Amino acid sequence: METEISSIGEFGLIDRLTDNLPKFNDSTITAVGDDAAVMDYGADREVLVSTDMLLEGVHFDLTYTPLKHLGYKSAIVNFSDIYAMNGTPRQLVVGLGVSKRFTVEHLEALYAGLRTACEVYGVDLVGGDTTSSRSGLVISATIIGDARKGTVVRRSGAKPTDLICVSGDLGAAYMGLQVLEREKVASAGQKDFTPDFAGKEYLVERQLKPEARRDIIGELAEAGIMPTSMIDISDGLSSELMHLCKASKTGCRVYEERIPIDYQTAVMAEELNMNLVMAAMNGGEDYELLFTVPLTAHEAVSQLKGVRVIGHMSPEDQGCALIGRNGEEIPLRAQGFNHMAAEE
């Protein structure tokens, strides 16, 4: 009997395809299962490699996504993976699948965004490939980075007593997507339509032009804090917490009242009659850093600008839960974006 991909989901598929992969090279330290692969070529630094694919109609909608913004975001989502390993992105390789409806000027706009991101973050755009596509625009980007030996942070190092920390605020990118989708619907059939983003500018920017949290990596290093585990938030806080717990063989307790949420996010959730906390937990595309630190680092990490302690790890047999404002325990579920979900 054939198995539908949607029945096991994106991460189930990855587990199935990569289970017990053989390792032929001593230089391969960490392979599938983290934000980036880690390789050691004998120098004083370890090499980090990660790749992401963005497909038109799945990851982005060109109805409201400017190509320059798309190029910038395509780079940023890769840079974020390297920072999530406590590393520094160095080189970027980009492959494009392009359908006939795109012109040279379209691709120049896309590359202008890629180049801007590389300039801002000090990354070299060193090559790639371009081919024709029958399904719109396809972007495949691979980032190469490095970290000093002994400083790479994986998902698997957390202990049951560690504190759970997150940078920035959550749910804004998801709400930005709702704003863009709402204006897309409103513009249907209208020639001269002007979208209304008044009071929602921050949300739209978080969706179209996210930033990688290089600053947080710098703050942690300056404060002498070494995270025990780390991941970036691309698929939603719930999903990423469960990745950390699975890799570290722990449970977790996250407190609803401590989840950082921006005012515009709260207002938009109310307008749309959405559950604000669930949007923050499951929305995704925030590209904030989720990490754990030892309990002894509580005072130091609490003083970091833009970082919030939101809970703690717990023994594995206690599972993963969100603690509500009244003390109730709500089991976490990975409800973030699933790239392999069944189409409706």
Domains annotated for the chain, with CATH where assigned, are 5-148 (3.30.1330.10), 163-331 (3.90.650.10)
Helix, coil or strand: residue 2: coil
The torsion defined by the Cα of 65, 66, 70 and 76, in degrees rounded to 10, comes to -100
Q: How much is the pTM?
A: 0.87
* CA–CA separation, 262 and 147 (whole Å): 32
Residue type, 151: T
- Which candidate, 126, 155, 186, places its Cα nearest to that of 290? 155
Mean pLDDT of all residues belonging to the chain: 89
Q: What is the pLDDT of residue 102?
A: 87
Q: What is the pLDDT of residue 342?
A: 43
The structure tokens listed for 253 are: 């307790």
* CA–CA separation, 19 and 295 (whole Å): 34
**What's the start-to-end Cα distance of the chain, in Å?**
22
- Please give the helix or strand (H or E) that residue 308 lies within, else none: strand 307-315
- The pLDDT tens digits of the residues spanning 73-113 come to 999 999 999 999 999 998 988 888 988 898 889 999 999 99
63 to 56, 76, 181, 196, 253: CA distances (angstroms): 10, 21, 9, 15, 40
The structure tokens listed for 148 are: 């000093």
* CA–CA separation, 205 and 176 (whole Å): 7
**Which segments in the chain show pLDDT lower than 50?**
337-344
| Residue located via tokens 């801002």 | 120
Q: What is the pLDDT of residue 193?
A: 82
Q: What is the pLDDT of residue 344?
A: 41
Q: What is the pLDDT of residue 24?
A: 66
The structure tokens listed for 173 are: 């990118």
- The pLDDT tens digits of the residues spanning 289-337 come to 999 999 999 999 999 999 999 999 999 999 999 999 999 999 998 765 4
* CA–CA separation, 191 and 277 (whole Å): 37
* CA–CA separation, 287 and 212 (whole Å): 6
Q: Which residues pair with 51 in a beta bridge?
A: 142
